[in-house]
């Protein structure tokens, strides 16, 4: 997904999959939290033209803006903005949290388009370090949707290089410092980290790194994963 052509293809796939969902005519928001004029402008703005500020305002008012019926209409733009780095401070969970309660009931084609996009977003993250989105942040969002983490973890070996290894080190740190994932994802993550693969990925990158500080960070993460296997 580092390739802009691939990114555009996946974005277009989202818009196509959710094209039959118009903006609800009666979307509401708390008038103390959202100016009525801002709500009216948001509702009348063509989906692809929603600005970063508008999206930030909407996502930042979870529980006081919208009742969920607007999510299928907005989702392509929300995910596009999040993956492209337009949202300056909101994590991926700000988007997946909006869809979590309803997404299991969506048609298979819509769910498939979302899953393809999320995995493509993951490829985009692993391609460079640092990335506009943290690897841990996207894994949290994916786990919240109860999507299998297996294909995501497998990419740590499928996409070799120091950047991928540094993201893996970040995930190891995230598991220690940011609290647990949902139960099934937590168990899957710990089981994978306790295997030989993550330690090998981290040690290989640590040994070949030309940056002593990075090498130390990777070695520390390798030691942490090695301890999980004992």
Q: Let me know: does 73 contact 110? Beta carbons within 8 Å.
A: no
Question: pLDDT by residue (tens digit) across 203-218?
Answer: 999 999 999 999 999 9
Pairwise CA distance, residues 185 & 196, whole Å:
19
CB atoms within 10 A of CB 115: 15
pLDDT of residue 177: 78
pLDDT of residue 3: 57
What tens digit of pLDDT does each residue of 8-40 get? 999 999 999 999 999 998 999 999 999 999 999
Listed as ranges, residues in the chain with pLDDT below 70 are: 1-3, 229-230
Q: What pLDDT is recorded for position 227? A: 81
pLDDT at 1 (0 to 100): 43
Q: In 3D, which of 178, 185, 171 has the Cα closest to residue 224? A: 171
**pTM reported for the whole predicted model:** 0.94
**Number of other residues whose CB lies within 10 A of the CB of residue 155:** 17
């Amino acid at each position: 997904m580092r390739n802009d052509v691939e990114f555009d293809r996946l974005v277009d796939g989202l818009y196509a999959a959710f094209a039959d969902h118009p903006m609800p005519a009666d979307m509401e928001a708390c008038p103390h939290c959202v100016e009525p004029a801002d709500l009216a402008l948001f509702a009348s703005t063509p989906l692809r033209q929603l600005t970063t500020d508008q999206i930030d305002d909407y996502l930042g008012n979870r529980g006081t803006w919208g009742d969920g019926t607007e999510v299928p209409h907005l989702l392509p733009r929300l995910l596009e903005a999040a993956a492209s780095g337009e949202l300056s401070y909101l994590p991926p969970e700000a988007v997946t949290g909006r869809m979590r309660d309803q997404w299991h009931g969506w048609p298979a084609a819509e769910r498939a388009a979302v899953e393809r996009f999320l995995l493509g977003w993951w490829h985009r993250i692993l391609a460079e370090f640092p990335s506009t989105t943290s690897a841990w942040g996207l894994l949290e969002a994916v786990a919240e949707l109860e999507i299998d983490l297996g294909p995501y973890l497998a990419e740590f070996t499928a996409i070799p290089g120091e950047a991928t290894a540094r993201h893996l080190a970040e995930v190891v740190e995230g598991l220690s410092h940011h609290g647990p994932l949902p139960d099934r994802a937590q168990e899957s993550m710990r089981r994978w980290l306790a295997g030989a693969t993550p330690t090998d990925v981290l040690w290989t990158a640590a040994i070949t790194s030309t940056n002593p500080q990075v090498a130390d960070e990777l070695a520390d993460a390798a030691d942490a994963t090695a301890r999980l296997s004992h």
